[in-house]
C-alpha cells in the first residue's frame, strides 16, 4: 500500500507539472508544453541615454506625473544612494512596457524606437544658453525661469557656480558634466539591461543619435568612451582611425559626402540629397540652407558621441576616419572599403 506521504508527493508533483504546461487564463488554458526553440528574441533592441535637463526634484516630479507627456524606464540621480556597495537607480516603468522616451526617431531603418527600446534618464542640467559666459546672475536667472531648478530645495547660485570650472563652454552655451558616481551607476544599469535583452553595443545610443534634428541629449559631456572601456556600447579602434586618416591633418575640412555615407551605413538618418528630390534649377536658397543645416545636425550628433572635443558639425578628416572605423568594426571591413571605392 502506498503511504499517505507518497500520495501527497505524487499529487504535488502532478500539480507542479500541470502548472508548468497549462497557464489558466480567464476563459481558456494556455498550454506551453511546445515552446519554440531559439527562434525569438527580446522586443528590446535598443538602449537610449537621456539627460533630464532639470534637477533631481524636478526630474522625479515630471517623470512620475500622469499629465507629463514623457517617461523613461529608469532614472539615475546625480549622486546615487548606495545600498551596501551597490548604487540605487530608480525603475519608473517596467522593462516589459513601453516608456515614452524616444519620440520621433530613427536608427538603421527602424523608426519610432519607443516600441523596441529601454530609456535611461540621467539627472543633468544639459545645457544653458549663456551669450555672456561670465554673467553668472543671468545664467542662474535663466535656470530658474526655465524651471530647471526646483523652487524649494533647489541649488543656490553660489553652490552652482562653485562647479563652474567643470562646465564646457561651446555653441554660446554651458554644458554640464555627469558625476563619476552617476557614471558608475549608469554603467552597472546599462550592463544589466544589455545582457537581459542581448542588445548589441552599437544599439546603445543617445537620444541625439536617433533624433539629431531636435535632440541634444545626453550631449557632448556624456562619457561614452568610459562606458565602452567598462564594456558598454560601441567605440572605434584607434589603429583603424589612423589608417583612414592616411597622414592628413586631423582637423582638415573635407567634403561631407563620404562621412555622411558612412554615418548612414552605421545607422544615422541622413537627409536625402536635395538635388535628387528637386531638379537643380528649381532649388531655392532657403531650401539649400535648410538641407545643409540638417546635414550639419547629424554630423554634430555623431561628433558629440564619438569626437566630443569638437562638435561643430563640420566634416573633417578625423570625423570621417572615425565613422569609417566604426563601419569597419560593426558592419564589416568589406562595407567600409566599398564606401571608400564609391
| Range in contact with Zn ion (rule: CB under 5 A) among 13-21, 46-54, 159-167, 274-282 | 46-54
Is the dihedral angle over the CA atoms 162, 57, 128, 318 positive or is it negative?
A: positive
Q: Cell for 318?
A: 578625423
In the complex, what is the shortest distance from the CB of residue 62 to Zn ion, in angstroms, rounded to a whole number?
12
| Range in contact with Zn ion (rule: CB under 5 A) among 10-18, 45-53, 130-138, 247-255 | 45-53
DSSP, collapsed to helix, strand or coil, labels residue 128 as strand
In the complex, what is the shortest distance from the CB of residue 72 to Zn ion, in angstroms, rounded to a whole number?
8
In the complex, what is the shortest distance from the CB of residue 118 to Zn ion, in angstroms, rounded to a whole number?
13
DSSP, collapsed to helix, strand or coil, labels residue 31 as strand
> What DSSP string runs through 74-98?
EEE-SS--EETTEE--EE-S-TTSP
Considering the complex, state which of residue 218 and residue 256 has its C-beta at the smaller distance from Zn ion. 218
Residue among 55, 202, 217, 320 that touches Zn ion (CB under 5 A): 217
In the complex, what is the shortest distance from the CB of residue 215 to Zn ion, in angstroms, rounded to a whole number?
6
Size of the site for Zn ion (CB under 5 A): 3
In the complex, what is the shortest distance from the CB of residue 276 to Zn ion, in angstroms, rounded to a whole number?
31
The yes or no reply on residue 98 touching Zn ion (CB under 5 A) is no
Q: 95 an active-site residue?
A: no
Residue among 50, 58, 98, 216 that touches Zn ion (CB under 5 A): 50
Considering the complex, state which of residue 202 and residue 217 has its C-beta at the smaller distance from Zn ion. 217
Report whether the peptide linkage leading into residue 55 is cis, meaning its omega lies within 30 degrees of zero.
Answer: no
> What are the CA-CA distances from residue 122 to residues 17, 179, 183, 218, 268 (Å)?
44, 10, 9, 8, 23
Q: State the Cα–Cα distance between residues 268 and 209, nearest whole angstrom.
A: 7
Phi, psi of 46 (to 5 degrees): -135, 150
Q: What is the DSSP letter of 151?
A: T
In the complex, what is the shortest distance from the CB of residue 217 to Zn ion, in angstroms, rounded to a whole number?
4
Catalytic residue among 56, 78, 95, 121: 121
Q: State the Cα–Cα distance between residues 317 and 256, nearest whole angstrom.
A: 10
Of 108-147, binders to Zn ion (CB under 5 A) are none
Q: Which of 149, 120, 126, 125 is nearest to 50 (CA)?
A: 120
Of 196-215, binders to Zn ion (CB under 5 A) are 207
Q: Where are the alpha helices (DSSP H) in 176-267?
A: 180-197, 207-210, 224-229, 238-245, 257-266
- The CA radius of gyration of the chain, in Å to the nearest whole number, is 25
Considering the complex, state which of residue 63 and residue 187 has its C-beta at the smaller distance from Zn ion. 63
Q: What is the DSSP letter of 217?
A: T
| Range in contact with Zn ion (rule: CB under 5 A) among 19-27, 54-62, 128-136, 217-225 | 217-225
Binding site for Zn ion (CB under 5 A): 50, 207, 217
Residues marked as catalytic:
121
Amino acid at each position: 500500500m502506498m503511504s499517505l506521504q507518497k500520495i501527497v508527493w505524487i499529487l504535488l508533483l502532478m500539480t507542479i507539472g500541470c502548472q508548468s504546461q497549462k497557464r489558466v487564463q480567464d476563459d481558456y488554458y494556455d498550454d506551453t508544453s511546445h515552446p519554440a526553440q531559439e527562434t525569438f528574441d527580446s522586443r528590446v533592441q535598443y538602449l537610449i541615454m537621456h539627460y533630464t535637463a532639470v534637477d533631481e526634484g524636478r526630474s522625479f516630479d515630471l517623470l512620475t506625473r500622469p499629465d507629463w507627456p514623457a517617461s523613461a524606464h529608469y532614472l539615475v540621480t546625480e549622486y546615487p544612494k548606495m545600498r551596501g556597495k551597490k548604487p540605487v537607480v530608480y525603475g519608473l516603468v517596467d522593462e516589459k512596457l513601453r516608456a515614452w522616451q524616444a519620440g520621433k526617431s530613427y536608427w538603421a531603418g527602424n523608426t519610432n524606437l519607443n516600441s523596441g527600446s529601454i530609456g535611461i534618464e540621467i539627472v543633468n542640467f544639459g545645457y544653458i544658453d549663456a551669450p555672456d559666459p561670465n554673467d553668472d546672475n543671468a545664467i542662474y536667472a535663466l535656470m530658474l525661469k526655465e524651471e530647471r531648478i526646483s523652487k524649494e530645495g533647489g541649488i543656490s547660485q553660489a553652490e552652482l557656480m562653485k562647479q563652474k570650472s567643470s562646465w564646457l563652454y561651446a555653441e554660446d552655451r554651458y554644458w554640464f558634466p555627469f558625476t563619476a558616481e552617476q557614471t558608475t551607476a549608469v554603467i552597472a544599469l546599462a550592463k544589466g539591461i544589455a545582457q537581459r535583452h542581448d542588445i548589441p553595443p552599437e544599439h546603445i545610443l543617445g537620444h541625439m543619435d536617433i533624433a539629431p534634428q531636435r535632440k541634444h541629449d545626453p550631449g557632448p559631456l556624456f562619457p561614452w568612451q568610459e562606458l565602452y572601456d567598462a564594456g558598454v556600447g560601441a567605440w572605434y579602434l584607434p589603429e583603424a582611425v589612423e589608417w583612414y586618416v592616411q597622414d592628413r591633418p586631423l582637423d582638415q575640412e573635407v567634403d561631407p559626402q563620404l562621412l555622411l555615407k558612412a554615418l548612414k551605413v552605421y545607422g544615422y538618418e541622413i537627409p536625402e540629397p536635395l538635388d535628387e528630390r528637386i531638379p537643380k534649377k528649381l532649388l531655392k536658397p532657403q531650401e539649400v540652407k535648410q538641407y545643409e543645416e540638417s546635414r550639419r545636425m547629424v554630423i554634430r550628433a555623431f561628433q558629440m558621441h564619438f569626437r566630443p572635443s569638437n562638435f561643430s558639425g563640420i566634416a573633417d578628416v578625423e570625423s570621417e576616419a572615425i565613422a569609417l572605423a566604426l563601419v569597419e568594426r560593426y558592419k564589416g571591413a568589406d562595407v567600409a572599403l566599398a564606401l571608400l571605392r564609391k
